Amino acid sequence: MKPAFFAVFLCIVNAHAAFTPADWEFSKELLQGSGARGGDYGLVALDSETYAGTQDTLADLRLIASDGREVPYALFKADAREYTVPVSAQMTDLGTTGRTTSFKLELQEGSRHNQLDFKIKTENFRASARIESLEHGNTWKTIRDGAVLFSVAAGYRASHLSVEYPVSTAGHLRVTLTSDKSPVEVVSMSTCRKEIVPAREELRPARVETTIRENKSDILQLDLGQNGQPVSRLKFTVRDANFQRSVIIYVPSDDKSGWRKAGEGVIWRFNTGSYHGEQLAVSFPEARTRKLRIEVCNGDNPGLERPTINLYGIRQELLFPGQGDAFRLYFGNPYVRKPDYDFIAQSPHINQAVAGHWTLGPRCDNADFVPQDRRPWSERHPGLFWGVLLLACVAMGWLIARQARAVSNGDSGKNAE
């Protein structure tokens, strides 16, 4: 009895785990690129057609080899990575003259550093920063000049209170801040070495559908052309000089009836002789969408002159065991969960630099696809449901009537006695 039970159990488990092509709506062939043939591992980047046909979580991606076996994979997102190493520093000779605040920093000799972070009590200011290092022979050498610091607290809050400069090993720095008004009050500051591995981004082509001016704001609506496109950064190209604008990003609400805020930031450019700098990009939590609304808040200023906006998303790739010469990626199944492969735990220990590169071919509709209907049984068979319910009511009515007659006959017999 037990062997038969376990045999049936194993059959049920295997049947549940087996890949069924008819449950997936789309597929793409993997095309061999550099180093793909004969490699131990393969790497393929997802594209806009894949994003448009998958779950938002990408849980329905399945990689199938030419012999029909399911190939495990690990999904990698090429996010930016930042490493910060604090460097001890002591501030001395802090003082002010006119609109200028200056001080010196003593650092550990030989330590590598490239960024100063300021804590400034003053609000609503702009200042230009000059950083000098003490060279051999007791001469000061400028290593960064014209860096912009600012703080705004008027309707919205925004600030930029750090200065980057080329990596230095100097043990002494001199910092000079020249404000546009009164000298700024520096409370404290810190020094560090910051190393950034930038994210590998992909441009998401989009067109501007509409541009309207409303309540002192310019509102641009963009269309990426396909559903489900992942975007996490936008960058303006503008001709204007000397401006600062808050920017709010909206995406369609979950019920598609309106818009919800996806992120916000500040763009600016200062070029007045003593100030030279700009920040024209806004990053926000990744959204999978086709439409975006960008609100540029102008305050009492004229709108920016014909701005253009580029949208970017972070590149995502599948790493997989590359043995074989033909693979197909299936997607388009809203009901499956994300697979749990042993290969996912193994993947961080694999050198991706030696993986062969593949590309995705055009999207193919799956001719064998059979849409799954996950509605309740009563919604899928309304006629049969109501028919059965009617019969049940009739049967219950008949039983009630029969019981009533039996009770009535019993009472009649008792009265006759």
| Domains of the chain with CATH codes | 18-50+65-74+322-365 (no CATH), 82-197 (2.60.120.260), 201-314 (2.60.120.260)
Place of tokens 């690990």: 74
Q: Looking at residues 402-417, what average pLDDT do you find?
A: 64
Q: Looking at residues 341-370, what average pLDDT do you find?
A: 92
pLDDT at 7: 42
> Do residues 340 and 59 touch, judged by C-beta distance below 8 A?
no
| 3-class secondary structure, 352 | helix
pLDDT at 292: 97
Place of tokens 């590309």: 359
* Each residue's pLDDT tens digit, 236-245: 999 998 999 9
Position with higher pLDDT, 352 vs 234 = 234
Sequence-ordered list of residues with C-beta below 8 angstroms from that of 65, at least 6 positions apart, any chain:
71, 324, 326, 327
pLDDT at residue 376 is higher than 60:
no
* Each residue's pLDDT tens digit, 161-179: 999 999 999 999 999 999 9
Q: What is the Cα Rg of the chain in Å?
A: 33
β-pairing, 356-365 with 41-45? Answer: parallel
pLDDT at 18: 78
pLDDT at residue 188 is higher than 70:
yes
Sequence-ordered list of residues with C-beta below 8 angstroms from that of 376, at least 6 positions apart, any chain:
none
How is residue 289 written in tokens? 């969408």
pLDDT at residue 404 is higher than 50:
yes
Reported as a pLDDT band with limits 50, 70 and 90, residue 417 is: low
* Each residue's pLDDT tens digit, 223-233: 999 999 999 99
pLDDT at residue 379 is higher than 80:
no
How far is the C-alpha of 248 from the C-alpha of 215, rounded, in Å?
A: 14
How far is the C-alpha of 79 from the C-alpha of 198, rounded, in Å?
A: 7
Q: Report the chain's terminal Cα–Cα distance, integer Å.
A: 62
How far is the C-alpha of 61 from the C-alpha of 50, rounded, in Å?
A: 9
Place of tokens 């042993």: 342
Place of tokens 């059979």: 370
Q: Which of 113, 88, 109 is CA-nearest to residue 167?
A: 113
* Each residue's pLDDT tens digit, 299-339: 999 999 999 999 999 999 999 998 677 999 999 999 999 99
pLDDT at 9: 37
* Each residue's pLDDT tens digit, 16-54: 457 899 999 999 999 988 666 657 899 999 999 999 999
Q: Looking at residues 275-292, what average pLDDT do you find?
A: 93
Q: Looking at residues 149-155, what average pLDDT do you find?
A: 86
Q: Is the pTM of this model over 0.75?
A: no
pLDDT at 412: 56
Beta-strand (E) ranges in 11-161?
Answer: 26-32, 41-45, 62-65, 70-71, 74-77, 81-87, 89-97, 100-107, 113-120, 125-135, 139-153, 157-160
β-pairing, 186-197 with 81-87? Answer: antiparallel
Q: Which of 103, 233, 112, 86 is CA-nearest to residue 167?
A: 112
Reported as a pLDDT band with limits 50, 70 and 90, residue 381 is: low
- Longest CA–CA span in the chain (Å) reads 134
> Do residues 233 and 281 touch, judged by C-beta distance below 8 A?
yes
pLDDT at residue 246 is higher than 50:
yes
